[in-house]
């Protein structure tokens, strides 16, 4: 396996992990405000932006959108698991709680252009036999549970 390919997969999965790490903050702020975990309006706004940015860097906008939808789904799984746990524990509101609009969404948005560059690099290698294994065994994603990992990674496959 070319070292550059390994480095590209590490870069991508590192960014995916950074994005998933934001999900507990989203879950906390939504726990406090009672806002729904699923926010289709926000998702559509991100996807519109993602498609525009993808076009600008010569990446297939449909692939970019499908990738981000998978990352939303993985993040929402983390949020649902946490809300379920907090319900059982009768968790009190978090204090201090992160503000979704001011503190949390800017982190997600700042990762978007980096993720787009990273998936553009990896997309070219999706049909190489080692890529699948490297994606599934990526160290950066190993701390998420298999369901979450699968939701995030399975979109990255040979077409
Ligand atoms: C992260 C949020 O929650 C959900 C997950 C999203 C994401 O991963 O970007 C976007 C919208 C929501 O469905 C949010 O509302 O900002």
Domains of the chain in sequence order: 3-153 (1.20.59.10)
CA distance 132 to 21: 23
CA distance 121 to 13: 12
- Please tell me if the CB atom of residue 76 comes closer than 6 angstroms to any atom of ligand 1: yes
**Do 157 and 83 contact (CB within 8 A), yes or no?**
no
- Beta-strand (E) ranges in 11-120? none
- CB-based contacts of 73, cutoff 8 Å, min separation 6: 151, 152
Q: How many angstroms separate the alpha carbon of residue 75 from the centre of ligand 1?
A: 7
DSSP three-state, residue 155: coil
Q: How many angstroms separate the alpha carbon of residue 108 from the centre of ligand 1?
A: 9
- Please tell me if the CB atom of residue 68 comes closer than 6 angstroms to any atom of ligand 1: no
- Please tell me if the CB atom of residue 19 comes closer than 6 angstroms to any atom of ligand 1: no
- Please tell me if the CB atom of residue 132 comes closer than 6 angstroms to any atom of ligand 1: no
Q: How many angstroms separate the alpha carbon of residue 62 from the centre of ligand 1?
A: 19
Task: Look at 61-65, 67-71, 93-97, 106-110 and tell me which has the smallest mean pLDDT.
Answer: 93-97
Residue 114 has pLDDT above 90, yes or no: yes
CA distance 109 to 102: 12
pLDDT in tens, 40-91: 999 999 999 999 999 999 999 999 999 999 999 999 999 999 999 999 999 9
- Please tell me if the CB atom of residue 73 comes closer than 6 angstroms to any atom of ligand 1: no
- Please tell me if the CB atom of residue 46 comes closer than 6 angstroms to any atom of ligand 1: yes
pLDDT in tens, 8-21: 999 999 999 999 99
Give the Å distances, CA to CA, from 152 to 17, 38, 73, 155. 9, 16, 7, 7
- Please tell me if the CB atom of residue 39 comes closer than 6 angstroms to any atom of ligand 1: yes
């Amino acid at each position: 396996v070319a070292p550059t390919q390994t480095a590209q997969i590490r870069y991508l999965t590192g960014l995916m992990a950074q994005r998933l790490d934001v999900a507990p903050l989203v879950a906390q702020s939504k726990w406090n405000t009672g806002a729904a975990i699923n926010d289709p309006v926000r998702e559509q706004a991100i996807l519109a932006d993602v498609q525009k940015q993808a076009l600008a860097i010569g990446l297939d906008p449909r692939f970019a959108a499908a990738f981000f939808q998978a990352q939303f789904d993985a993040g929402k799984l983390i949020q649902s698991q946490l809300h379920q746990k907090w319900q059982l524990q009768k968790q009190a509101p978090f204090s201090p709680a992160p503000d979704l609009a001011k503190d949390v969404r800017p982190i997600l948005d700042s990762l978007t252009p980096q993720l787009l560059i990273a998936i553009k690099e990896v997309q070219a290698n999706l049909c190489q036999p080692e890529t699948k294994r490297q994606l599934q065994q990526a160290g950066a994603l190993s701390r998420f549970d298999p369901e979450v990992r699968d939701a995030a990674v399975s979109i990255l496959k040979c077409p």
